Amino acid sequence: MRIKQLDYIIKIVELGSVNEAAKHLFITQPSLSNAVKELEQEMGIQIFQRTQKGMILTTAGTEFLAYARQILEQVDLLEEKYKGTDKRRRLFSVSAQHYAFAVHAFVQLIRSYEENEYEFTFRETQTNNIIEDVSTFHSELGILYLNAFNEKVIRKLLKEKQLTFHPLFIAKPHVFVSKKNPLVGKSSVTLADLEDFPYLSFEQGRVNSFHFSEEILSTLYHKKSIRVSDRATLFNFLIGLDGYTISSGVLSRELNDENIVALPLEVDETMELGWIHPIQKPLSPMAEEYLHYLKEHIIDYGFTIIEEA
């Protein structure tokens, strides 16, 4: 087994295609395919399943990839220490539900990174995609929430994907509204107060189960309902239509439009926000640093971080 073969595997996973990976690696497609086949034969496993949609990791391949990343990280450290080589181009990805605090922490991570080259990816995406991204190593971490309604379903899926949920903090539901909304000024709002305002939520694609909704109370009927796919559009509708959405109440002072206000929602519910990660894969230094900024930002907003046993 050669280090270069491990680099090949990781590039194929990132791009989902042997052809695209070969272009980025500046080798021919047959050479790359042969290198993968040789590695599979040597290891006695099938790393990829070849499909019409591209190369998909098998279960054995997913486990192999976790070890491959660890090996390459250690090789990188050895070369830096003893050969004086430049650091390997850093790659780090996070997939998250639409939370400003997760974006803010990512911005801080990038600002703190002093190297000239890096490739960071932040995916604000649907709940099922977050789980898929982390289980297939397209993202190292995922950010989502659990509550009494969705916990059983989400935890079952995480177990099937060999992922674990690490709680960060408990939040009581708030509604986000425009600062010009007639409800602004109230110390809290009820569901009855919201009845005549347009309700905004993030669509969940093909897996549009209530259990995958980013908003609690997803089974409630709303007279006016609008689904969107990105946070900027949702905020525009909050302002333009006097709409509202339900979330954790954590807004970023730096990144969010100052025209948005969070109001406590009078319901007997809580949200446990946290991060997911493969069970047996250790965190990279980059992931550790991101979690540091994430916790720092959460504490800055007056929440208490849940300490795991």
CB 186 within 8 A of CB 263: yes
Q: 100: which 2 tokens?
A: 């400003």
Domain boundaries, given as residue ranges, for the chain:
1-87, 170-272
Q: 159: which 2 tokens?
A: 């177990």
The pLDDT of residue 274: 95
Banded pLDDT at 109 (limits 50, 70, 90): very high
User: pLDDT (tens digit, 9 = 90+) per residue, 18-76?
Assistant: 888 888 888 998 899 899 899 989 999 998 887 776 778 888 887 788 778 778 777 77
Instruction: Answer whether residue 256 shows pLDDT above 60.
Output: no
Q: How far is the CA of 190 from the CAs of 151, 186, 225, 243, 267, in angstroms?
A: 24, 10, 17, 15, 7
Question: How many percent of the chain have pLDDT more than 70?
Answer: 91
Q: Report, as an integer, the average pLDDT of 98-125.
A: 86
Distance separating alpha carbons of residues 109 and 5, to the nearest angstrom: 30
Instruction: Answer whether residue 266 shows pLDDT above 90.
Output: yes
Instruction: Answer whether residue 87 shows pLDDT above 60.
Output: no
- Closest C-alpha among 254, 248, 235 to residue 302: 248
1-87: CATH topology is: Arc Repressor Mutant, subunit A (1.10.10)
The pLDDT of residue 136: 80
Banded pLDDT at 168 (limits 50, 70, 90): very high
Distance separating alpha carbons of residues 62 and 34, to the nearest angstrom: 20
Q: What is the DSSP string of 148-160?
A: TTTHHHHHHHHHH
Choose the CATH number for 170-272 among 3.40.190.10, 3.30.420.10, 3.40.640.10, 3.10.290.10: 3.40.190.10
Q: Report, as an integer, the average pLDDT of 156-169.
A: 93
